[in-house]
Amino acid sequence: MDYVRILVAEDDEHVADALTDALRQHGHTVLWRADGGKAVDAAEEVDFVLLDLGLPDLDGYEVCRRIRATSMVPIIALTARSEEIDRVMVLQAGADDYVVKPYGFRELLARIEAVMRRTRQAPLPTALPETDGSELETGALSIDVRARKAFLAGEPLSLTAKEFDLLALLAAEHGAVLTREQIIERVWDENWFGSTRTLDVHVGTLRTKLGDKRWIETVRGVGFRLTDPCD
């Protein structure tokens, strides 16, 4: 992984010291901010954000939303909250990934590398329609793959990088069932080591943003496919 500038937003000084020292030992430049307001300001100066959700002045979700309102800097949320609703909320707020405490530093490095790889390379689905490959349409849903923009009934959808890649992949294979393994390999990474529950969380956030869970159909025991709920 290339050396990057990383913001550590963490109010526990001991945790922050250990994390920043470890990151610096791997060659990264690290900024530390102990409260949410300063973290939002500092996000403009870095290439990556590690965001603890338990900051004292602002709710971590709000910090994430404020950063995402002006920047597409990659964000990994660090959370002690293991309930599914908490993971859904942080992804809806704009985080690209999350790590549940306690976590191993090697795991964190691997997740940083995976997120950087996805956001820098902006991976696109490998099977696009036989047009110019840049636009996908399904009913009221339209996707500009090259510009990485999606619209529903003409209104823009606010999607994270992974949400966009997932939606574009399903749209490119409209009507076809993609297995969980196929989706993980093409949207996340062929060497993905995490739980496929991450996929379920992202499908859930996409359904919420699309406003109708019928857009993404679950094929039990197999995977998912994109459908037009108006059909």
Amino acid code (one letter) for 42? A
What does the DSSP assignment read for 100-161?
Answer: ESS--HHHHHHHHHHHHHHHHH----S---SS-SSEEEETTEEEETTTTEEEETTEEP---H
**What number of residues does the chain have?**
231
- For 46, the 3-state DSSP assignment is coil
Count other C-beta atoms under 10 Å from residue 197's C-beta: 10
Burial environment of residue 187 by CB neighbours within 10 A (0 to 12, 13 to 18, 19 or more): buried
Alpha-carbon distances, residue 169 vs 13, 56, 218, 229 (angstroms): 42, 39, 15, 18
Residue 116 CA neighbour count, 13 Å, CB half: 17
| Mean pLDDT value across residues 175-198 | 74
| pLDDT on residue 1 | 59
Per-residue pLDDT tens for 71-117? 878 999 998 876 777 778 888 888 888 898 888 999 999 999 888 87
Per-residue pLDDT tens for 112-167? 988 887 766 544 444 444 444 568 888 999 999 888 889 999 999 988 778 888 99
Residue 3 CA neighbour count, 13 Å, CB half: 8
| pLDDT on residue 63 | 92
For 70, phi then psi, to 5°, come to -125, -5
Model confidence pTM above 0.85: no
Phi-psi region of 12 (alpha: psi -120 to 50; beta: other; left: phi over 0): beta
Confidence label for 189 from pLDDT (cuts 50, 70 and 90) = low
Per-residue pLDDT tens for 27-52? 999 999 999 999 999 998 898 999 99
What structural domains and CATH numbers belong to the chain?
5-121 (3.40.50.2300), 135-226 (1.10.10.10)
Of residues 138, 182, 145, the one with CA closest to residue 165: 145
Count other C-beta atoms under 10 Å from residue 176's C-beta: 12
Per-residue pLDDT tens for 46-76? 989 999 988 888 888 899 988 887 787 899 9
